[in-house]
Structure 1
Amino acid sequence: MYNIKTFNAIAPQGLAEFSDDYLINESADPDAYLIRSVDLHEHVFPENLKAIARCGAGFNNIPLDKALENGTVAFNTPGGNANAVKELIIANMIICNRNIIDAANWAAKAASGADITLRTEKEKTAFNGVELMGKRLTVIGLGHVGSLVANAGLDLGMRVTGYDPYLSADAAWHISDKVKRARTLEDAIAKADFVTVHVPKNEETIGLINADVIQAMKPKAVLLNFSRLGIVDNAAAVQFLQKGTLRKYITDFSSDELIGQDNVILMPHIGGSTVEAEINCARIAAQEVQTFLETGNIENSVNMPNIISPFQSQYRFTLIHKNVPNMLGQISTIIAGEGVNIENLANRAKDGFAYTMVDANDMSQDQQYYLLDKLKQIPTVTRVRLIKAS
């Protein structure tokens, strides 16, 4: 029996994914957390906590190193809210080009009376817009969200350019061959009417869209950032908006520089705030946790390597340990020393940590207890589990 603790409101459709072998919010010593926005940086992790699944793509609210030191694998749910974000990007491009907000605000404030219909008909020309068809869209980052935005742009008749130096082979399958691939960021933005950013936040992407990049953009271009705060230099964006060289900046990441600025469309962080996205993310998170707890396999981890190996033996040892020399030798020697034959061994490393799965058959209960204890005594090991095949 496994225990799951939830933080925030997790969609019940996601929790329904758990089998009868799981208890939800019935233990103070859970095996896994399902979270959304709760900040865990000051949180004390229970020793028993094996997994944290974030129902969403972002994971800045999880202290990844701290989790690793506790032997806790952290997951996110990439792609679960991708369609919701895509729709918001498309909506904002239409809102921007058709002056929808200004027109609606004017109509709401227009004086009432018998001539209101005539007035609105006469003055509507002040809100004339332009269509998206034929305009140039550049998508920076072609992952789950970016690929959907690029394809949707094509569907609207836009000319789409994509830029992603780290594009995976799997992601490439989801992008239309009609999307032009740019070799450099400079080439990607040079002629774009719209530039939208969909990259993860890390050391390489902080400040990716800086003053030099914005200056190199086509005059009167529109910039959208629904990725993460800090990827666009907001102060630089304001500078070029005030010069009139950047037409609009649209984002759901607020900062002091943007408040009250003309030609900034600012909204709460609602990219993934749809009923469908919350359900999708909760379902994915529940599936990730179950797979990990029941088989040891890891998919969509943000602090450990992804590793999937068929579980075809009676038993599986899983170890989270420092990525140092001779770990596999130590693990294999201990297990073989008890006369247990290793049926399969899988290992992956990520930065300073590694994950090892060892499959075996025909172990007595005494051997199981002994090996668990001996493997836990390896100084660089932070967690050992023994999983029995169902």
Structure 2
Amino acid sequence: MPQSSPPLPYLIIDFDSTFTQVEGLDELADIALQGSPDRERIVGEIRALTDQGMSGSLSFSESLQRRLALLPARREHIGQLVERLKGLVSESIRRNQAFFQQFAGRIYVVSSGFREFIEPVVAEFGIGPDFVLANTFTYDAEGRITGFDAENVLSQNGGKILQLRQLDLEGDVYVLGDGYTDYQIREAGLANRFYAFTENVSREAVVSRADEVLPSFDEFLYQNKLPMTLSYPKNRIKVLLLENPDPRAAELFRQEGYQVDLVPGGLDEDELVDRIEGVSILGIRSKTQVTPRVLEAANRLIAIGAFCIGTNQIALTECMKKGVAVFNAPFSNTRSVVELALGEIIVLARRIPEKNPKMHQGEWDKSAKGAFEIRGKKLGIIGYGNIGAQLSVVAEAVGMQVLYFDIAEKLQLGNAVKCRTLDELLQQADIVTMHVDGRPENTNLIGAREFALMKPGTIFLNNARGHVVDVPALAEAIHSGHLGGAAVDVFPYEPKTNHETFESELRGLPNVLLTPHIGGSTSEAQRNIAEFVPERLMQYVNTGNTQQSVNLPNIQLPVQQAHRLIHIHHNVPGVLARINNVLAAHSVNILGQYLKTNEHIGYVITDIDKEYEQEVIGELRKVEHTIKFRVLY
């Protein structure tokens, strides 16, 4: 946002693996050796020498000489290299191109690389030839690169120190780079600070000597209160992921630049209270309980991602009142749960849970007693949401008749028949399967009374939530022989880790399939969830988009115009007017404004011109009834 920026110290920035994501000579070797059978070996040797020179384990001069001796490049390869490097500028550097153009007269690119490929790359950022200090190649008559200009101080050991002495800059000097030679400028007393840039590569010998470590260029700008493209460095956004979501989730967050912590298994309330401070995004599955006490300890929490369908483990109303958006994965594991249910129906109908262990014990029990085909049988689906509806379609495809019951009005698919009451379904179905949500009102939805209404020999499935079934009553219905079998994937209490013992009244009962909450545990489902949930969370953090949030008013936002103000407030009259009064008092031009409310909160998004006074932000934060306020740009 607009602010009076302090004068920028001279910024000395390295090129290879800092301004760009790669080392120029490594890429030049890769281009020059295309088609050569020795390409992989030689490029590998050059890269190893580069790293030794950058980490300080090999003198720079020797590293350079040995690399060029291996390099079979020609003058015409330089153009190809430049085009490649233009596409490999570091993400945070590219993002802040306007900063480089604004302060070009204060920024020097000082590199042990080569002017021939550095100049055309940094020129697009407003950095002219006079501010590029680098080596130059030597060529033979046929245009082959033969070496480097030995008179150039940057080709020598300690070359960057010699170059800075020749520059003789007056005022503060900051050095930003990834190599030992960059640190040496600070060590020689020629710079006030050395920043180790780790966005592309992190070298311990360099990081350990740095005044500051920069995961991105945004962090440098933020620390020094300089104009930046982002409103907040993403490396400062801390993500805590619990219960082992698919690794793709952490990968996506890290690609975005977020700081990610992983905790295997769930955390109880006390443990989560201890870990939640400073966390901006929390990712959980079904075991972790996000209670009001956890939310009280969450001083920076912006959003929660449930890497599953259910959200009853999260205090949604309290999250809403604190301005914490919650997202889940309502569709990502639908097919996996449906296939599990269909498999359970067939396996139970053929009494496989009884016959399989006998075979493993050497007992041959060939009998058709109690076994039946599922074709023509009535499947009663309780809860006709995403999973129930898709199971309906699949079940019809294998010849079943489908009945369903849902408290909400749902359009039936295919030939499914809606039952007016739960009792009506229970009395007709040959197989009953649960697919309701975890709201408290569904606790013990199926108990002794409901089991008694079912026909003798009915098969019962619960792949919904553990607490929706009275487990002792289910165990008794199986034990008495009234039910013909059961499959249960969810339980009122589930072990937090794979090392905890599972206890249940259902253990050891005949024709009962017990599975450890694996309805969505397929590689496809977990991958889908690990992509869907982070995408929703990052959309919210980056743009304010609440589409598909389960607790905040849903707003599908257009592309951001200039600066975006995100304002969550208690739903009381007059807040929008107060916000607009502040903007009007400071003559701020509104480009677009969006408001949606529910019974507890209001959500206002305002896009404004980027030219405004700093005082505007302070006044907006102080608007009465504000819960959370953010600025995005």
Q: TM-score, normalised by structure 2?
A: 0.54
Q: Is 2:616 the counterpart of 1:386?
A: no
Q: Is the 8 A contact 1:318 1:385 kept in 2?
A: yes
Alignment partners' CA distance in 1, 2:585 and 2:256:
34
Q: Which structure would you say has the larger RCO, counting Cα contacts within 8 Å and 6 or more residues apart?
A: 1
Q: Is the 8 A contact 2:348 2:486 kept in 1?
A: no
Alignment partners' CA distance in 1, 2:512 and 2:261:
46
Mapping of residues 137-216 of structure 1, within 5 Å: 137-167=379-409, 172=411, 176-216=413-453
Mapping of residues 32-51 of structure 1, within 5 Å: 32-36=281-285, 37-41=287-291, 43=294, 45-51=297-303
Residue 356 of structure 1 is aligned with which of 597, 604, 616? Answer: 604
Alignment partners' CA distance in 2, 1:22 and 1:94:
47
Aligned with 1:334: secondary structure?
A: helix
Counterpart position of 2:466: 229
- Structure 1 window deviating more from structure 2 (309-318 vs 128-137): it is 309-318
Q: Is the 8 A contact 1:74 1:303 kept in 2?
A: yes
Alignment partners' CA distance in 2, 1:55 and 1:263:
31
Amino acid at match of 2:245: I
Counterpart position of 1:115: none
Alignment partners' CA distance in 1, 2:256 and 2:506:
49
Alignment partners' CA distance in 2, 1:208 and 1:305:
29
Q: Is the 8 A contact 1:223 1:249 kept in 2?
A: yes
Q: Residues 213, 342 of structure 1: CA spacing in aligned structure 2 closer, same or farther, 3 A cutoff?
A: farther
Q: Residues 328, 216 of structure 1: CA spacing in aligned structure 2 closer, same or farther, 3 A cutoff?
A: farther
Counterpart position of 2:329: 77
Q: Is the 8 A contact 1:76 1:301 kept in 2?
A: yes
Counterpart position of 2:246: 11
Counterpart position of 2:54: none
Mapping of residues 234-253 of structure 1, within 5 Å: 234-253=471-490
Counterpart position of 1:286: 534
Q: Please say which structure displays the higher CA radius of gyration.
A: 2
Runs of at least 5 residues in structure 2 that lack an aligned partner in the other structure: 1-232, 263-276, 493-503
Q: How far does the alpha carbon of each residue in 1:331-359 deviate from its partner, in whole angstroms, 9 at most, with x for none?
A: 33333333234343333333422322223
Q: Is the 8 A contact 1:190 1:216 kept in 2?
A: yes
Q: Residues 126, 72 of structure 1: CA spacing in aligned structure 2 closer, same or farther, 3 A cutoff?
A: same
Aligned with 1:277: secondary structure?
A: helix
Q: How far does the alpha carbon of each residue in 1:111-166 deviate from its partner, in whole angstroms, 9 at most, with x for none?
A: 6xxxxxxxx4xx41256621111110111112221122111111111001222232
- Structure 1 window deviating more from structure 2 (3-12 vs 218-227): it is 3-12
Alignment partners' CA distance in 2, 1:374 and 1:101:
67
Mapping of residues 282-361 of structure 1, within 5 Å: 282-360=530-608
Q: Is the 8 A contact 2:321 2:601 kept in 1?
A: no
Q: Is the 8 A contact 2:374 2:400 kept in 1?
A: yes
Cα offset, 1:316, TM superposition: 2.2
Alignment partners' CA distance in 2, 1:126 and 1:135:
17
Alignment partners' CA distance in 2, 1:351 and 1:260:
48
Q: Is the 8 A contact 2:309 2:329 kept in 1?
A: yes
Alignment partners' CA distance in 1, 2:255 and 2:535:
14
Q: Is the 8 A contact 2:246 2:530 kept in 1?
A: yes
Amino acid at match of 2:333: N
Indicate the RMSD between aligned Cα atoms, in angstroms: 2.7
Alignment partners' CA distance in 2, 1:314 and 1:320:
20
Q: Is the 8 A contact 2:348 2:511 kept in 1?
A: no
Mapping of residues 88-167 of structure 1, within 5 Å: 88-110=340-362, 120=364, 123-125=365-367, 129-167=371-409
Counterpart position of 1:22: 257
Counterpart position of 2:615: 370
- Structure 1 window deviating more from structure 2 (13-22 vs 303-312): it is 13-22
Q: Is the 8 A contact 1:372 1:384 kept in 2?
A: no
Cα offset, 1:4, TM superposition: 4.5
Alignment partners' CA distance in 2, 1:109 and 1:26:
46
Q: Is the 8 A contact 2:384 2:405 kept in 1?
A: yes
Amino acid at match of 1:54: A
Aligned with 2:415: secondary structure?
A: coil
Counterpart position of 1:86: 338
Amino acid at match of 1:102: E
Cα offset, 1:232, TM superposition: 1.7
Cα offset, 1:227, TM superposition: 0.7
Q: Is the 8 A contact 2:378 2:402 kept in 1?
A: yes
Alignment partners' CA distance in 1, 2:482 and 2:454:
9
Alignment partners' CA distance in 2, 1:86 and 1:126:
27
Cα offset, 1:189, TM superposition: 2.7
Alignment partners' CA distance in 1, 2:380 and 2:462:
12
Q: Residues 217, 324 of structure 1: CA spacing in aligned structure 2 closer, same or farther, 3 A cutoff?
A: farther
Q: Is the 8 A contact 1:92 1:250 kept in 2?
A: yes
Counting helix residues as a fraction of each chain, which structure ranks higher?
Answer: 2
Amino acid at match of 1:14: A
Q: Is the 8 A contact 1:254 1:267 kept in 2?
A: no
Q: How many residues are aligned here? A: 370
The percentage of counterpart residues that share the same residue type is 29
Q: Is the 8 A contact 1:54 1:77 kept in 2?
A: yes
Cα offset, 1:237, TM superposition: 2.5
Aligned with 1:223: secondary structure?
A: strand
Q: Is the 8 A contact 1:97 1:132 kept in 2?
A: yes
Q: How far does the alpha carbon of each residue in 1:211-265 deviate from its partner, in whole angstroms, 9 at most, with x for none?
A: 3333332332122111112212223323433443332232123464434444543
